[in-house]
Structure 1
Amino acid sequence: MAVKVLIKRKVAENKVPELDKLLRKMRALTLNQPGYISGESFTRVDEPGVSMVISTWQSLDDWRQWTLSKERIDLQEQIDKLLGEPTRYEIFENA
């Protein structure tokens, strides 16, 4: 069953360009992952520096395998360091 992963981040406004660069790298890596279906990126219109990605995967196991890959872990650590806090994740499936 497909799952949607909401990935939420908040970064200081002056660090948005650096975060965008890291997220583009993450997106490029994600495109080649088994089970990856699609992704959409959003920014809040009323709060600069707040973003959300909705990532769709064929299964929860596919998502988990991606989260355990070394290349993702390394890039995610860079992102969280830039944010100054951990990225937040919420995982949903069709009811």
Structure 2
Amino acid sequence: MTTETATGVRVILWYRVPEGDVLSLADTYRRIGEHLAGTPGMVSSELLTSRDEPGVLMVTSRWRTEEDLRRWVHSDTHRHTTPLRPYLDTGRTRPWETFDVASET
């Protein structure tokens, strides 16, 4: 796809947890996912663990449009993500970032 035809928004959230809490956080993420299933405009979400740095995790989510993302962030459903918030990596300048899709293959 070219930048003229690519669509969508990606969100990345960075987390840092004690090594022993990774499985617990993954379980919490799965439970949250059950509540988010079918959220209008959300295409997918993934929890990734770093191979290089134990305890570093990242959630990526794909959204159809920025408006879909914004609508969800301001909805009651967004509160289901509260259990993950204590683990946001606040040591980073920005523990989350939002990206526009410029190109896809």
Q: What is the TM-score of this pair, normalised by structure 2? A: 0.73
Q: What SS is found at the alignment partner of 1:56?
A: strand
CA contact 1:26–1:72 (8 Å) conserved in 2: no
1:14 aligned partner: 20
Say if 1:85 and 1:54 are closer, same or farther in 2 by CA, change over 3 A.
closer
**Partner in structure 1 of residue 99 of structure 2:** 92
| CA positional deviation for 1:52 | 1.2
Which structure shows the bigger proportion of residues in helix conformation? Answer: 1
The answer to whether 1:33 aligns with 2:72 is no
Question: Which one-letter code corresponds to 1:61 in the other structure?
Answer: E
1:8-87 alignment, distance < 5 Å: 8-73=14-79, 75-81=80-86, 83=87
**2:33 paired with 1:3:** no
1:54 match: secondary structure: strand
Return the index of the structure with the highest Cα Rg.
2
5+ residue gaps, structure 1, are none
**Deviation above 4 Å: which 4+ runs of structure 1?**
84-87
Aligned residues: 93
CA 1:59 to 1:44, structure 2 compared with 1: closer, same or farther past 3 Å? Answer: same
Give the percent of matched residue pairs that are identical in Structure 1 and Structure 2. 30
CA deviation after TM superposition for structure 1 residue 59, in Å: 0.8
